[in-house]
Amino acid sequence: MRFRGTKIRAAPVGETNSRGSSAAALAAAATLVLLAGCALPAGLQDEPGAGAQPDSVVDEVPAGLAHFYQQELGWEACAGYPVGESFRANIDGGQFLCARLSVPLDYGRPDGAAAQIAVIKTSGTGASSSAAESLAAESLVVNPGGPGSSGLEWALSSAKDVARGPLGGEFDVVSFDPRGVGASTPRIECLGAAEMDAVRAQETVRPDPAGIAEAERRQQAFVDACVANTGVDALANMGTRTASRDLDILRAALGDRQLNYLGFSYGTLLGTIYAQQFPGRVRAMVLDGAVDPDEDRIVTAALVLRDASGMRQRTWPTTGCSPT
């Protein structure tokens, strides 16, 4: 394995160093996250040995995962990786390389089936450099949010903006499709395009007993379709804590002793959980538009619906709009 990041010293999150203004800015911004003071979300446990600052890329690997942590990424052209049609024009030109990262589908059975995480990178040495000729010492891993957003599509549309900025001389910009998403496999499949169009065209249900029953019926039908088209085993191993473990294997495969991470929206939750599971493996982390890891999603959804309902009640009398 090729070890990168020889310039990285084991620094606490938020501590600056002498590697230049770009690295210092990233680390300084990370102090806003105050990760050291985060409370551990319920049910979340540190990985074995993850609290110690690493001596190598694969320091303190959990039992049964050594071959995953020791893998090397086979970078190749991105043409064979499925992305939305509007993003395909940006694939050619040598600015991007893609690879597949092998991870356990079920971390409780690392010798069982594997999932494949689609990864993309662009050169951190300036807009004119190809990804294959990168001289960057480290990687900056970006998650654009979601959950369910494609990191490949984000990279194809936005990664070069980061690479052209002050961070571009220090980092390869890397993103990925989390398990279940986009070009990663197994992919969560629920409804086809025509079926989803029909779901979106359905009338909004009213917040009365009959409407609630109808909403529950629709949701159950959607869940049943996901189970039928994706499979119980795959669905049982989807989630943020599992994606966080994938992220640590990606860090090692990139050759980085510690993780540099930028997360937006839901990506902040993924980053927070990674920092809790692997506190000694974070070099610098910026969380933009942070999600509260302790919030009750059902309560939050109810509050959003309440606020939306109040807005409709204020809007209909003045605009002539009606709920039908």
> Measured between alpha carbons, how far is 296 from 293 in angstroms, rounded to an integer?
9
> Measured between alpha carbons, how far is 117 from 232 in angstroms, rounded to an integer?
19
Tokens 């609630």: give the residue. 212
Check whether 227 has a pLDDT greater than 60: yes
φ and ψ of 71, to 5 deg: -70, 155
Q: What is the pTM of this model?
A: 0.73
Domain ranges of the chain: 21-187+239-311, 189-237
pLDDT score, position 307: 66
52 pLDDT tier (thresholds 50, 70, 90): low
> Measured between alpha carbons, how far is 210 from 255 in angstroms, rounded to an integer?
56
> Measured between alpha carbons, how far is 9 from 2 in angstroms, rounded to an integer?
17
Give 283's DSSP letter. E
What confidence tens digit (pLDDT) does each residue in 138-195 have? 899 999 998 889 999 999 988 888 777 777 778 889 999 999 999 999 999 999 889 9
Check whether 244 has a pLDDT greater than 80: yes
Alpha-carbon 6 to chain mean position: 25
pLDDT score, position 221: 93
pLDDT score, position 238: 94
Query: Count H helices, E strands: the chain?
Result: 10, 6
Residues near 97 by beta carbon (within 8 Å), at least 6 away in sequence: 75, 76, 77, 78, 120, 121, 122, 131, 132
CATH architecture of 21-187+239-311: 3-Layer(aba) Sandwich (3.40)
pLDDT score, position 55: 55
124 pLDDT tier (thresholds 50, 70, 90): low
Residues near 126 by beta carbon (within 8 Å), at least 6 away in sequence: 163, 164, 168, 169
Cβ contact 271:263 at 8 Å: yes
